[in-house]
A = this chain, B = another copy of it.
Amino acid sequence: MTRPAHQSVTIVDVAEAAGVSKSTAGRALAGAAEVSARTRDNVVRVAAELGYRPNQVARSMITGTTETVGVVIPEMSNRFFSAALQSIARTIRKHDYELLVSSTEGEPALERRSVEVLSTKRVDGLIVAPVGGADADHLRRLTEIGTALVLLDRPAPKATSASLVSVNNIEASRLAVDHLIGLGHRHIGIISEARPDSAPAGATELEPTAHWPSTLRLAGYMRAMTDAGLTVRPGHIAHSAYSSAASYAAATRLLRATPPVTAIYCTDNVLSAGAFAALQDSGRDCPGEVSLIGFDDHEWAPLVRPRLTVVAQPTEVIGITAAEELLAAIADPTRQPATHLLPARLITRDSTAPPGRAAAGG
């Protein structure tokens, strides 16, 4: 298979017209110090006259940098990740970097492959939201060979020299649960991807760099309940797989719990949609009988009735911070890894209110 040349004027043409060797022309255009200013100016002028368009692949061979960063995320159509990606793209563009994106569909094997492929394309650094579950040796190796690495949203315990940028998940949960407790709720259900035993009693020892967001969010719920002197009931913790349908089922279980819950806290944007639909379909009045608080400020949160109260992640700031941390690590390979835990904020709308009629039976 042959392809037409991607450009009509090559570095060879420039070199000939400028009367220098191909390698000198290449170095001159890359601004290398060993080329005299006079030669460089001449080559640059000739290149401009000929309409030469620098070939990035060739330039990478000369400069050893690519002006490209890679981003590996589980799913491009997930609202949190697509918004973070947009924010990362804006930030790195300001620094004349481009973005190479790969999605892993939540599959550890695809993540290993994505990291490997991006790494062989010689990106200057990577932002990865790890799939987890499997080993993270591929991420540790990446930092060992000197590739700058920033973890987005999720930790990778083995990649100790990577930075981490995420919301402060424990505090985000406390915001949500304290809001409900402040309204007078005592029987608060939670829908969580984490299993109850993943956030043990010693929840105070949980480290954001070692635990999954869902585990930290569950731990935050437990802490807020315990600190308020409320009982954490296993029957009020509904485990849900990461899908709207699973969350629908989990919310339906919670609505039948004994003692009855007067409020439900959903710990993720995908889970919030399923729980909202389940509450609508149950015929229970929200917030009259059951309050609902979601995670992430989705487009639909102010469109539904009642408008949804949520704990919002600072998605844009998370993207900016991850991008800036990565660019700093690229610029200074000796930079120490940092952990940025950004504050969530509560957006109070109409789906949360003091417990009403149903509470009397609780």
For the complex formed by this chain, how many copies does it contain in all? 2
User: Across the interface, do B303 and A146 meet the contact criterion of CB distance under 8 Å?
Assistant: no
A139 CA / B246 CA spacing, docked (Å)? 45
User: Across the interface, do B65 and A76 meet the contact criterion of CB distance under 8 Å?
Assistant: no
User: Across the interface, do A76 and B55 meet the contact criterion of CB distance under 8 Å?
Assistant: no
When distances are taken between beta carbons in the complex, the residues of chain B under 8 Å from A5 are 145-146
Known: A7-B145, A145-B4. A89 touches B103 (CB 8 A): yes
Interface footprint category on A: 35 or more
When distances are taken between beta carbons in the complex, the residues of chain B under 8 Å from A98 are 100, 102, 117-118, 121
Nearest-neighbour CB distance to chain B for A109, whole angstroms, equals 12
User: Across the interface, do A83 and B77 meet the contact criterion of CB distance under 8 Å?
Assistant: yes
A273 CA / B300 CA spacing, docked (Å)? 8
Decide yes or no whether A85 CB sits under 8 A from chain B: yes
Decide yes or no whether A86 CB sits under 8 A from chain B: yes
Decide yes or no whether A1 CB sits under 8 A from chain B: yes
Using a CB–CB cutoff of 8 Å, the interface residues on chain A facing chain B are 1-8, 53-58, 60-61, 64-66, 68, 75-77, 79, 82-83, 85-86, 89-90, 93, 98-103, 105, 110, 116-122, 124, 145-147, 273, 276-277, 280, 298-300, 302-305, 330-331, 333
Q: List 16 A-B contacts (CB under 8 A).
A: A3-B146, A6-B147, A56-B121, A57-B66, A57-B122, A68-B100, A68-B121, A77-B83, A77-B86, A89-B101, A89-B103, A90-B103, A98-B100, A98-B117, A99-B101, A305-B305
